[in-house]
């Protein structure tokens, strides 16, 4: 005997599509934010070490570790809003996130934006506003994600 009762779709599934659950944006935002924070500190530490550990970014390597933890927590917190904004924008544009490309875009943007600003800070002798750098990383990641996302068609 076959069951002809309609299947109920779970909240994580979109009606009219296959049974593959949607990407968990609730986790994607904080994970991307934490990755951006860790990459940001890693790139800054690399520049700091390259220039002989000047008394500019950190005073000791221990403070670099504290900075990494704080930026990962802060990035994960901001990532909640980032994930919600990304979800609503992709839904409005009928696009689908490519998770692996998104994560790589976040890490690449973080490194490619942080290194030049850190080099500029060392040459200038004063730290560039970190909120400006982190905002630039967020905007770059968001735009790259929109560009690399997949268009959702009616047959999907």
- pLDDT tens-digit readout, 31-66: 888 999 999 999 988 988 888 887 777 778 888 889
Assign 150 a pLDDT band (cuts: 50, 70, 90): confident
User: Within a 10 A sphere around the Cβ of 113, how many other Cβ atoms?
Assistant: 24
pLDDT at 155: 62
Assign 13 a pLDDT band (cuts: 50, 70, 90): very low
- pLDDT exceeds 70 at position 111: yes
Instruction: Please work out, in degrees rounded to the nearest 5, the angle formed at the alpha carbon of residue 111 by the alpha carbons of 110 and 113.
Output: 70
Average pLDDT, integer, range 83-107: 88
As a whole-number percent, the residues of the chain with pLDDT over 70 amount to: 82
Indicate the average pLDDT of the chain: 82
Torsion on CA atoms 17, 31, 138, 54, rounded to nearest 10:
-160
- pLDDT exceeds 60 at position 8: no
Three-state SS for the chain is CCCCCCCCCCCCCCCCCCCCCCCCHHHHHHHHHHHHHHHHHHHHHHHHHHCCCCCCCCCCHHHHHHHHHHHHHHHHHHHHHHHHHHHHHHHHCCEECCHHHHHHHHHHHHHHHHHHHHHHHHHHCCCCCHHHHHHHHHHHHHHHHHHHCEECCCCC
- pLDDT exceeds 70 at position 108: yes
Cβ atoms of 122 and 51 closer than 8 Å: yes
What distance in Å separates the CA atoms of residue 64 and residue 66, rounded to the nearest whole number? Answer: 5
What distance in Å separates the CA atoms of residue 123 and residue 5, rounded to the nearest whole number? Answer: 69
pLDDT at 113: 93
């Amino acid at each position: 005997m076959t069951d002809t009762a309609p299947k109920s779709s779970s909240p994580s599934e979109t009606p009219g599509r296959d049974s593959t659950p949607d990407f968990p944006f609730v986790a994607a935002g904080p994970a991307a934010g934490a990755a951006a924070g860790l990459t940001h500190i890693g790139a800054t530490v690399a520049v700091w070490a390259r220039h002989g550990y000047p008394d500019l970014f950190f005073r000791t390597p221990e403070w670099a570790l504290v900075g990494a933890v704080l930026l990962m927590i802060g990035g994960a917190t901001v990532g909640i809003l980032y994930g919600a904004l990304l979800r609503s924008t992709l839904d409005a544009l009928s696009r689908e996130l490519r998770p692996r490309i998104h994560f790589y875009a976040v890490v690449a943007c973080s490194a490619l934006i942080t290194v030049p600003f850190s080099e500029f800070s060392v040459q200038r002798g004063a730290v560039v506003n970190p909120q400006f750098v982190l905002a630039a990383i967020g905007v770059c990641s968001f735009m790259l994600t929109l560009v690399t996302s997949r268009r959702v068609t009616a047959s999907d």
